[in-house]
Structure 1
């Protein structure tokens, strides 16, 4: 027992000596952290109205940098935070892409982004499903996005950008105006029976895999298309208003002190399959909770997702909608 105590004290002494060195390095590191706050382009929204769109080429720090945090809030024209009971921030995603550095004639019938190449995160979802880097929703307020030192998200590396191209960023957003709605909860959940769906909607709409949308689809992103309208209380009237996303980015200039961190977006709806040694991921992004016929009031959704690469988990958070109790991430190492 005495040997163990001495060993513990010896280790603690080393830790304290190391920590004083780390502290001085940390203060020097913090002096180089930069930050900037930006405001996105405005978008108009009315009571019960859905805004689901991409805000292209958002402002972003220039140069070869390491991003330490990316925080977002939904604001009105005066810069005030909007209460979630008035406007529900379903999600915001920050997506990276490169585009040719050429000027476009806005009068010409051409798509300025027809040559764009979109770069997704290193997560396991298929195709364009959950391609973002940063992204949350109504849980944004109060959720820290700070990445601990010495890690950072490397962006703007000139070696990764072909000559004649530019690295750019966009917001993909869904915002639902809940003022005056018959039922705020069902509107924020995008329940199909609450929205003014076009005639024969289920016959002409496809799901996330490009297949016809099932008539059994009760609610989700496909019933919350841009400019769809949720049912309002009879006689309710209120003016439309302009909103925007305010976002703060902190970063450091990239040098040998930073360790690059990678994003891995995982999905609890991922229906993982294996064919021999091949792993096939089939993320759904959303699913219908089955009716509970038992005594347990909770439904648990699990996914076992194998990862090709190892590493350190340095930060994690979950994007959840109303009704979710919590989310947990467990790791298991296989040798």
Structure 2
């Protein structure tokens, strides 16, 4: 009799398997359809407030509460470029885009309270932005693959607050400059600056960087440049935002920014040890001894750090300046996570300016294929050619990381999930019941036949 009961058990298992498969399939198809319907990518193009530049002049302004898509959304990409009043792109050899930074915050509607919303990176006070690039903007991919997105517009901290965004645009007009590269590297002696924008004296060892080319400063240009038809002009940062309306099927990502010039220490206290990070942001490069142009001299700077939480790597890209030869992020054991190379222009047109970094290569691992563990030791390596000196260079690395998907539960094979039962319809059960009925009838017939034969003393092999 035990052998025959196996038939009934197998029929029941078949029913559960068929039902689970059918219902899961229905839910999956429904989820896919819902995702497609709710995942229509919208594109909005905005202009920053106007800024006016003349040959040699620097603009480094902050624009608060800029135009930006509202509501609970998932940001899919953010790109930008400098244009004139007619919307024409401006090449880097005329106006150098040192950097732009997009920052999220909350502000009190009828008050002055201001809450900065930082990314998940390690820097304590600097590099808190959501997006930020520079001269490489036009040819650097920033899109985030499905089903991932950067969540915005949700989780307002309290009643009476609303979300806002500010934009920092740092641009240098190099028309007529004696040395365009020196202007873009913001040498303190070249700009004749000894005090930064906050009125703080610039240390003697600080040779160049953003502290010496702040808003309103000027790089030397050729005499008579203003009398040769080159005049001041109004410019804008044109930025394009792609996004989708938020829905539960979108997987949020965390933004991490690593700075190769980060100086971090471990502080022991009564509540245990903690890491403090001082992201210097910039650093200088001395020329290699007896160097000549293109002799292969390479300056390497490294950082070792770990992330507070891990997950799946969705996107990676570096940020470097002219003279760079690439930046790479490694995990424990020397495994390569991402290598981001600079793309140099070869022409005159906007987006292909010779001698400038016009793009950085990006990394898009297959989702789930590349993970960073919580606390895993990471090594960031930034390389520059030091055939000549450079000031104020940078070595950042942007990472988008999603929480790893939970491991599948083998019991789901036999026990449909709550989501399956919730989304199942009566029609989903009709055909499995019919199949079960057929199996049961067949089992009964086999049982009767075998029972009759067994009475005649014949031997039969068990079916299970």
Instruction: Give the TM-score band, short-chain normalised.
Output: 0.7 to 0.9
Q: Secondary structure at the match of 1:145?
A: coil
Are the aligned partners of 2:39 and 2:244 in contact in 1 as well (CA < 8 Å)?
no
Whether the 8 Å contact between 1:52 and 1:173 is mirrored in structure 2 is yes
Of 248, 253, 261, which residue of structure 2 is paired with 1:261?
Answer: 253
Distance 1:126 1:214 in 2: 22
Match of 2:320 in 1: 320
Alignment partner of 2:210 out of 197, 217, 221 = 221
Of 139, 144, 167, which aligns to 1:142? 139
Contact map agreement 2:148 2:251 (CA 8 A) in 1? yes
Deviations 1:157-187 (A, max 9, x none): 1x33311111000101110000011110000
| Aligned partner (choices 198, 201, 210) of residue 195 of structure 2 | 201
Runs (4+) of structure 1 exceeding 4 A deviation are: 24-27
Aligned to 2:101: 93
For the structure 1 residues 125 and 255, does the alpha-carbon distance in structure 2 shift closer, same or farther, using more than 3 Å as the test? Answer: same
- The structure whose residues are more often strand, as a share, is 2
How far apart, in 2, do the equivalents of 1:246 and 1:291 lie? Answer: 37
Q: 1:279 to 1:27 in 2, by over 3 A?
A: closer
* Structure 1 pair 27–96 and aligned structure 2 pair: CA distance change class (3 A): closer
Q: Judge conservation of contact 1:73–1:247 (CA < 8 Å) in 2.
A: yes
Q: What is the TM-score when the length of structure 2 is the normalising length?
A: 0.60
SS across alignment from 1:160: coil
Counterparts of 1:159-178 in structure 2, within 5 Å, are 159-178=155-174
| Structure 1 counterpart SS, 2:239 | strand
Conservation of the 8 A alpha-carbon contact between 2:56 and 2:220: yes
Tell me the equivalent position of 1:249.
241
| Cα displacement (A) at 1:331 | 2.3
Structure 1: tracts of 5 or more residues without a match: 1-16, 103-111, 207-211
2:223 to 234, 248, 258: 234
Going from structure 1 to structure 2, the CA distance change for 1:26 and 1:290 (only over 3 Å counts) comes to farther
8 Å CA contact 2:50–2:235 kept in 1: the answer is: yes
1:38-53 superposed matches below 5 A: 38-53=46-61
Moved more, 216-225 or 272-281: 272-281
1:156 matched residue in structure 2? 153
RMSD between superposed Cα atoms in Å: 2.5
CA contact (8 A) 2:39 2:245 kept: no
Corresponding residue of 1:189:
185
CA distance, structure 1, for counterparts of residue 96 and residue 153 of structure 2: 33
Residue equivalent to 1:58: 66
Q: Is the 8 A contact 2:55 2:174 kept in 1?
A: yes
Q: Whole-Å Cα distance in 1 between the matches of residues 278 and 117 of structure 2?
A: 19
1:173-231 per-residue CA deviation (whole Å, 9 max, x = no partner) reads 1100000111100001101122142xx638x954xxxxx53212211011011010100
8 Å contact kept, 2:35–2:249: no
- Structure-2 separation of matches of 1:90 and 1:29: 39
CA distance in 1, matches of 2:278, 2:49: 34
Instruction: Provide Cα deviations, 1:224-260, integer angstroms capped at 9, x if missing partner.
Output: 1101010011221121000001111111111111011
Contact kept, 8 Å, 2:83 with 2:90, in 1: the verdict is yes
| Aligned twin of 1:331 | 331
In 2: Cα distance, 1:115 partner to 1:322 partner? 40
Gap change, CA 1:261 and 1:177, over 3 Å in 2? same
| 1:122 to 2:130 alignment | no
State the shift of 1:31 in Å. 5.8
SS of the residue aligned with 2:279?
Answer: coil
Tell me by how many angstroms 1:29 deviates. Answer: 5.5
Residue aligning to 1:13: none
- Alpha-carbon separation, structure 2, partners of 1:292 and 1:280: 32
